Structure 1
Amino acid sequence: MSTASITIQLNGEPRLCPSGLSLQQLLEHLGYRPQLVVVEFNGAILPRQCWPEQLVREADGLEVVTIVGGGS
C-alpha cells in the first residue's frame, strides 16, 4: 500500500484518503462498518462481493448510505 494520497468525492464532498486501497479497505479506513452500508460507486450501486477487488482511484465518486434498523 502506498503512502501517497488521492482525493475522492464522498457524499458530494472532497475527501483526502490513502491511495492503493480497495473499496472495502477505504470504507474501513473511513470508519464505516461495511456490513451496514450501501455504496454507489461512480453512479452505480456496487455489489458488496465486488468491494475487495474494486480499487479506489483519484476523483472516484462514492455515495455511502448507512443502513439503520428499527422503526414502527
Structure 2
Amino acid sequence: MIGVRVNGEETQCPAGLNLVELLEHLGYRPQLVVVEFNGEILPRARWAEQPVREADGIEVVTIVGGGS
C-alpha cells in the first residue's frame, strides 16, 4: 500500500496502480472526471500510462451535467 493525497485528504491505495486504476479503485467513473495530477491538468490520453506513486497529489473534479 502507498499513501497519496486525493482532494486534500490522505488515502491509502495498492502500489502499482496507474491513474485510471486509482480512480476506479476510489469509486470514480474516469469518463466523468477531470484530474489535476501533482499540480498539472493531465490530459485523459495520458491517464492509463501515468503511474501513481507514494505522496502524489491528485485533485478529482466530477463533471456534472444539467441545464435550465
| Normalised TM-score (structure 1) | 0.92
Q: Which has the higher helix share?
A: 2
What is the Cα-based RMSD across aligned positions, in Å?
A: 0.5
**Unaligned regions of 5+ residues in structure 1, if any?**
none
Superposed CA offset, 1:29-53 (max 9, x none): 1110000000000000000010000
% of aligned pairs identical?
74
Structure 2 gaps, min length 5:
none
Inter-partner Cα distance in structure 2 for 1:18 and 1:51: 17
Matches within 5 A, 1:1-72: 5-72=1-68
Residue aligned with 1:65, SS: strand
Please give the secondary structure, in 2, of the residue aligned with 1:71.
coil
Amino acid at match of 2:50: Q
